[in-house]
A and B are shown apart, each in its own frame.
Chain A
Amino acid sequence: MNFKRFVRLLFLCAFLLTFVSLASAQIKLEVKEHVLANGMKILMIPKPGVPRVVCHIYYKVGSINERPGITGIAHVHEHMMFKGTKMMGVTDYEADDALNRQIDELMDKIYREKYWKKDGDQQKIAEWQKQVDELIKAEKKYIIKDHLWETYMKNGGTGLNASTSDEVTGYYVTLPSNKVELQMLLEADRMMNAYFREFYSEKDVVMEERRLSENSPGFYFNEQVRASFYAASPYHWQVIGWMDDLKKMTKKDLIEFHNKYYVPNNAVAVYVGDFKPEEIIRLAEKYFGQIPRGDDIEPIRTGEPPQYSHKRMYGEGPGMPNLQMWFHIPPEGHPDIPALSILASILSGETGRLTKTLVQQKDVAIRAMAMARPQWYVGAFTFNVIPKMQKGVKPEDLEKDVWEEIEKIKKDGVTPEELQKAKNKTEASFVRSLESPMFLAMRVGRAELNRGWRSLLTDLEDMKKVTSDDIKKVAAKYFVKDNCLVAIYSRGQGR
């Protein structure tokens, strides 16, 4: 690093290190921001006290960045990020790499024989598989099992985990406040030097994870509901992906995916806890700052076309029966979203309208709720009602009751008390969400990757401005039959 560049960098740091605090009557959220030259963002929320620091890193990638053929890869990749780097998880990188290449070549042959041909040669497959098994055995002596995980654990890492959603993938650890540097070193290393060992057995693990979901009552039906509702956009498939894709995706798919999305300009690191921001910035510059910037990433292309159809689905299986009604709504940041969010709050909860009428007055349901899920690109407003079977009520009987509630909203709007209650609830639950460092890191990190962390506060302000007329307007606009999917799930035989 030459001197001139260093000075410029210092100047840039001072410029970018802005201290931001937005406040309303009750709400105060202070986040220190720092942007590295490679585009990576560092967000810091100091909370002096217990000497722990929540260290999260979020990448702007999830299952919506997939396409048919590689569905589930964002999540498989998240698993593989624990399978080593050029430095971690291996005693002799070159020797291990040589074996891995042979394994990949053989697996490529196996996949072609198995999945590209109608009647692949089983004998060949068995032969190659035997060679693979031998190589895997030989590789064991170079592998340090779950090295990253163990390193975090023996340094007192808790909340150690990772998660993949439709839009975001996060990697989490909470460390003693004197050990944040460890997280920077390990996370920078796996962003830059990930090396995917034990890929094929890890795919088996993920397939077991999918089977676990499959055995949870109602899974298959809900998977179909979602796929029917989202016809075109990549929200069509679930994060876990389709079993066929899990079986057939390759190491090459994985590496391409990694190289495209795991770049500093597509990531934000969030720290919440007992630390000095200057120290975090110094370490972030040192570890994350050395990673080269990647290509810009194009947003998702495919949204949802207007439905202009009334969709209905029926299914039966184990678990509780229910009626679901789904309506398309716009994504986060659209001016109609605050009114839809407030409406969902008014309809839901134990004192919400749906519980009061369907559960308490009419006594036809045991639970009834509504949810507004705007998401990043396309949104959904959903109703979910569980019938009271003891009284002979079937899920399909409840549809007219939900429509009745919807029509009441369209015609009369909501009461001033309901409106105020929803606003109070929203605001107080926001304050409450600031209590848990882990939850706070999660909200701030995710928000940052879409519309910036300040959107948490501006959304709140927008919700406080919603009127009964706004609610009447959005109800009339979105709650119409040809924008709706009705899904009826009954208790019975089947999966």
Chain B
Amino acid sequence: MRKYVSLILGLLLALSVVNLGSAQVTRPEDLKFPPLKFEPPNPANFRVVFANGLRGYIKEERTLPIVNITAIIHTGSLYVPKEKAGLDAILSECLIKGGTRTRTGSVIEDRIDFLGGTLNFSVGERTAMLSMSVLSKDLDEGLDLFFDVLMNPEFREDSLKLAKGRLIEQMRSANDNPSQVLAREYEKVLYGDHPLTYQETKATVEGITQADLKAFHAKYFFPKNIIIAAAGDFSRDQLKNKINKYASKWANKPLSFPTISKNFPQPEPGVYFIQKKINQGYISIGHLGIEDTNPDYFAVQVMNFILGGGSFTSRITSKVRSDEGLAYNTGSRFTYRWGFPGTFAGYVQTKSETVGYAISLILKEFERIRQEPVSDAEMETAINYYLESFADFFQSPIGTMVNFANLELQGKPMNYYATYRDKIKAVTKEKVLEVAKKYIHPDKMVIMIVGDWEPCNKGSDKFPGPLDRLGKVHRVKLLDPLTGQLVD
């Protein structure tokens, strides 16, 4: 009986709690959340140094029977000479497919596939990554293949033939996709003729030899120029020993990286129009941006979040997409690249007749954020977004290790994450206004449009053409991607 009473009391109590809750809470701002403390992982706790100065960030993660391992190499398309343009793409394909001294490429690929693993290599602008994922039972065999590919690639002829064939077919349609054309040509105007923008042609690709690949590999692939990231089902000490077996037999080399010019042209402001018979204009508006090591980086992030980077909460998206229904995809972005300023662009794709109007709206937002302080509510949303979503950086264990490795490779402060939230919190409205004025230059805007000239130039009621109302019109001619020569 007594038990029964307490049961009823308990239930009544539970009932009253539920009722209290549902009676009071109706709106999101009324919700009270329990406090949440989160401290980011400290890179120092994961750092290891293997034999011969090979560095690594490794994390045991034993919930699934999988091991992920990535080697990040300081090399990339930036270091490919102009007459060998495309070498990075060929290297990406041939490092594995070209086999090693003791294994052909198909032996390696067949074996990895048979084990249900993955092994991929890709060369970026200044870093290249070899990534492998295998079941933990296959770790030893996987590591053997991984380091063989990394240390002893042979770049056999059949792999070169395949890679060149693929790249040339791909290049053939390089002017077909409007967003691809816009991205490439926008950078060409902003950076000029520079290692960041060299384009391969059929001739440069065909001229790439096995010897070129071997020399490129020999120059950049050695322990001190590489950082390993690994996470998964292994014991840290054991993995360290296993990797040391390979690293201890791998000699270092002297290497000095070339100094690459940071002088970029000052393109004449105005409209840069690329003709393509499509039903929308694909548009980028902007100029060069900043490096992510700039002390104003955090303020620029917050400013751009409000301007056009914070998706629907941002001004450009709200105006151009939500209010006016002019576009599916619109906003603004700062891109970043290691050691060079990235680009700044407002972007939109809209039907031909509203091209001028959409551009005018974006330019207005550029002006507005430079003239008036942002609102308290906008600041609150932006700052809270960065603070509250911070833990997301660390959702993936291998992703976290790769991030740490990249910080070290690029010589960035290792307390980047530890100080991240304080730096976001320190951004003020005044600072946002200051960086908007400092880094957005309405008088220097390159307005690039890929679209159909007649309807774009004609415009519509809200912004009747011609497009030279927006500045001097430059008609940009595309080059034939295979020859690198002008197309008629």
Contacts and interface: CB of A to CB of B under 8 A. Distances in A.
B304 interface: no
B106 interface: yes
A11 to B, nearest CB: 11
Contact of B328 (A82, A151, A205, A290): A205
A178 B391 CA distance: 12
Interface string A343-360: 000000111000000011
Contact of B324 (A52, A201, A421): A201
Most-contacted residue by chain A among B26, B321, B395 (CB, 10 A): B395
B21 interface: yes
Contacts of A399: none
A411 interface: no
A1 interface: yes
B25 A185 contact: yes
Contacts of A153: 310-313, 381, 384-385
A146 B322 contact: yes
Contacts of B321: 205
Given A26-B65, A427-B116, A435-B396, A208 B351 contact: yes
B178 interface: yes
Contact of A214 (B279, B311, B384): B279
B180 to A, nearest CB: 10
Nearest to A428: B116
A360 B162 contact: yes
Interface in A410-469: 417, 420-421, 424-429, 431-432, 434-437
Given A6-B11, A211-B279, A350-B109, A389 B169 contact: yes
Interface-central residue, B280, B385, B396, by most chain A CB under 10 Å = B385
Interface in B312-346: 312-313, 318, 321-329
A198 B322 contact: yes
B172 interface: yes
A151 B312 CA distance: 11
Given A201-B325, A208-B326, A359-B162, A351 B391 contact: no
Contacts of A198: 322
A151 to B, nearest CB: 5
B36 A176 contact: yes
A98 B66 CA distance: 58
Nearest to A2: B15
Contacts of B237: none
Given A177-B36, A431-B66, A318 B28 contact: no
Interface in B280-309: 280, 282
A3 B325 CA distance: 51
A158 interface: yes
Contact of B135 (A87, A367, A428): A428
Nearest to B93: A350
Given A6-B15, A50-B395, A425 B169 contact: no
Contact of B113 (A10, A47, A158, A351): A351
Contacts of B173: 217, 318-320, 491
B433 interface: no
A150 B312 contact: yes
Nearest to A159: B392
Given A6-B15, A202-B325, A318-B173, A176 B388 contact: yes
B389 to A, nearest CB: 4
Contacts of B166: 366-367
B38 to A, nearest CB: 5
A6 B17 CA distance: 13
Which secondary structure dominates where chain A touches chain B? helix
B349 A319 contact: no
Contacts of B394: 50
Contacts of A87: 26-27
A212 B31 contact: no
A52 B312 contact: no
B325 A204 contact: yes
Contacts of A435: 64, 66, 396
A212 B328 CA distance: 8
B311 A203 contact: no
A5 to B, nearest CB: 10
B31 A208 contact: no
B391 A179 contact: no
A184 B308 CA distance: 28
B392 A216 contact: no
**Interface size grouping (class) on chain A:** 35 or more
A109 interface: no
A82 B321 CA distance: 13
A178 B395 contact: no
B381 A360 contact: no
Contacts of A182: 28, 31, 33
B172 A491 contact: yes
Contact of B380 (A154, A160, A429, A434): A154
B334 to A, nearest CB: 18
A33 interface: no
B115 A154 contact: no
Interface residues of B, number: 81
A51 B113 contact: no
A186 B26 CA distance: 10
A156 interface: yes
Contacts of B97: 350
A206 B328 CA distance: 7
Interface string B170-187: 101100111000000000
A386 B166 CA distance: 10
A7 B12 CA distance: 10
Contact of B396 (A176, A179, A436): A436
Contacts of B65: 26, 431
B230 interface: no
Contact of A204 (B113, B161, B326): B326
A201 B312 contact: no
Nearest to B40: A50
Interface in B354-370: none
Contacts of A420: 114
Given A50-B394, A390-B165, A425-B116, A319 B66 contact: no
Interface in B97-114: 97, 106, 109-110, 113-114
Contact of A318 (B176, B280, B318, B325): B176
Contacts of B70: none
B394 to A, nearest CB: 5
A128 interface: no
A351 B106 contact: yes
Interface string A1-31: 1010011001000000000000000100000
Contacts of A241: none
A283 to B, nearest CB: 9
Interface string A193-237: 000001011111110110110111100000000000000000000
Given A215-B280, A417-B114, A52 B392 contact: yes
Given A203-B325, A437-B395, A429 B116 contact: yes
A186 B326 CA distance: 27
B312 A146 contact: yes
Contacts of B18: 1, 286
A433 to B, nearest CB: 10
15 contacts: A10-B11, A51-B391, A179-B388, A212-B328, A215-B178, A215-B280, A320-B173, A350-B97, A350-B113, A421-B110, A424-B114, A424-B115, A425-B116, A427-B116, A431-B65
The 3 closest A-B pairs by CB, nearest first: A156-B388, A428-B116, A204-B325
Given A203-B325, A350-B113, 20 more contacts: A1-B19, A50-B391, A153-B310, A154-B380, A156-B388, A158-B389, A178-B33, A178-B34, A182-B28, A185-B28, A211-B279, A214-B279, A215-B278, A215-B280, A216-B177, A319-B176, A350-B109, A420-B114, A428-B117, A435-B396
Interface of B: 11-12, 15, 18-19, 21-22, 25-28, 31, 33-36, 38, 63-66, 97, 106, 109-110, 113-118, 133-135, 158, 161-162, 165-166, 168-170, 172-173, 176-178, 278-280, 282, 310-313, 318, 321-329, 349-351, 380-381, 384-385, 387-392, 394-396
